[in-house]
Amino acid sequence: MSKKQQRRVYSEAFKRMVVQEYEQGASVSELMRKYDIGGAHTIKHWVQKYGRQPYRTETVYIHTADDLDHVRRLEKQVQELKALVADLTLENRMLRAALEVAGIDPKKAATPSSGTSAPKEK
């Protein structure tokens, strides 16, 4: 004996209420459970039809221990690179100041072909 699938018909007021809750931050899975709605595409369709905001994609991240270790190593590397950039910026400013004190224009002191050049004699 086969069980007939029921086709549910929702009122427009109900659809708008679900969309409003969705736009206030409820997730699709949350709304499906709360109102016993059969499919995620149903709510997506309602959001596209009645919503003021676009349908948002919900991303689920699954991490392994190796993934987390890799992320930590990358975060540490980013911090080290930020510190290096700060050091190089400071060094660059000091060198520019030294060139300025020596009467050399830092923008004219370097040539594109050789990287540096001696100041021109007068």
pLDDT digits 0-9 by tens, 65-101: 898 899 899 999 999 999 999 999 999 999 999 999 9
- Within 13 Å of residue 36, how many CA atoms lie on the same side as its CB? 4
28-35 and 12-23 helices cross at what angle (nearest 10)?
140
Map tokens 């969705």 to a residue: 22
Between residues 22 and 56, the one the model is more confident about? 22
Between residues 59 and 100, the one the model is more confident about? 100
In a domain, 121, yes or no: no
Which structural domain, as residue segments, surrounds residue 86? Answer: 65-109
In a domain, 120, yes or no: no
Q: How far apart are the first and last CA of the chain?
A: 105
Q: What percent of the chain has pLDDT over 90?
A: 48
Q: What is the pTM of this model?
A: 0.43
Structural domains counted in the chain: 2
Of 79, 80, 110, the C-alpha closest to 92 is 110
Alpha carbon distance 37, 46 (integer Å):
12
